[in-house]
Structure 1
Amino acid sequence: MINGKENVLYAKAYASATRVVKAHQYLGQEKREFVLAKQLLRSGTSIGANVAEANGAISDAEFSAKLSIAYKGCLETKYWLDLLKDTNFNDEKQDRSLYADADELGRMLFASIRKVRGIRTDK
């Protein structure tokens, strides 16, 4: 854990995952879209699961690796959200909100990865 940030990160990832689960339910029940919804569910909930695993890491390398997987989950989640929006399954407001969650998590994860790896940002 870096200065307690992973607890904030975990809480945000968990809150985002609950929203993704609700979006999955909506897409299945209201839009009858199951394939893309399942992909969104898988990637969107994996972010928090990997953050939870990172918090239990026994080395900086394991911690960094799990955060990297979570970061990639954010990128994948944004891809599925874009696809759902562009195929008219998600409305603009819902998409913007879920996308903003994934984007914020991605920035937080990337900053944490850089910090644990000792990568300077002030070159």
Structure 2
Amino acid sequence: MNKSTDNMLSEKSYSFALEIIELCKVLMNQKRDYVLSKQLLKSGTSIGANVAEANGAISNPDFSAKISIAYKESLETKYWLSLLKDSGYIKIHPFKA
């Protein structure tokens, strides 16, 4: 990965984490669901944290491991968002690409 890609991925994952935080605030304030929103908060903010760790990797295998974790967290986040949507807790939210 080159530096500009690292910055783009870092910026997008950070922005995504902020969106996740806002969604979880709404869910918690509306007392809609605590357990699912907490899981979403953990996985949705973990993506960017792992990208940040990958940017500080000391080797290619270390970088690969951290990016892999970020990817897995994104899959988990997608699961929680789908579950919240399909259960009626949230409507489709147009996250920025």
Normalised-by-shorter TM-score class: over 0.9
Number of the residue aligned with 1:26:
26
Q: Deviation digits for residues 34-82 of structure 1, max 9, x if unmatched?
A: 0000000000000000000000001000001000000001100000000
Amino acid at match of 2:35: V
* Secondary structure, counterpart of 2:42 in structure 1: helix
User: Which residue identity is paired with 2:78?
Assistant: K
Give the match for residue 12 of structure 2.
12
Residue 37 of structure 1 corresponds to which residue in structure 2?
Answer: 37
Unpaired stretches in structure 1, ≥5 consecutive residues: 105-123
- Within 5 Å, give how 1:1-123 maps onto structure 2: 1-92=1-92, 94=93, 97-98=94-95
**Equivalent residue for 1:116?**
none
Specify the SS of the correspondent of 1:8. Answer: helix
SS of corresponding position for 2:49: helix
Amino acid in structure 2 at the alignment position of 1:88 = G
Larger CA Rg, structure 1 vs 2? 1
**Distance in structure 1 (CA, Å) of the matches to 2:83 and 2:31:** 14
TM-score by length of 1: 0.74
SS of the equivalent of 2:32 reads coil
Question: What TM-score comes out, normalization by structure 2 length?
Answer: 0.93
**C-alpha contact 2:32 2:89 (8 A) present in aligned 1:** no
Task: Provide structure 2 residue ranges, at least 5 long, that are not aligned to the other structure.
Answer: none
2:86 and 2:76 map into 1 onto residues whose CA distance is: 15
CA RMSD of the aligned region, Å?
A: 1.3
Distance 1:48 1:4 in 2: 16
Q: Secondary structure at the match of 1:32?
A: coil
Structure 1 runs of 4+ aligned residues shifted over 4 Å read: none
Equivalent residue pairs, number: 97
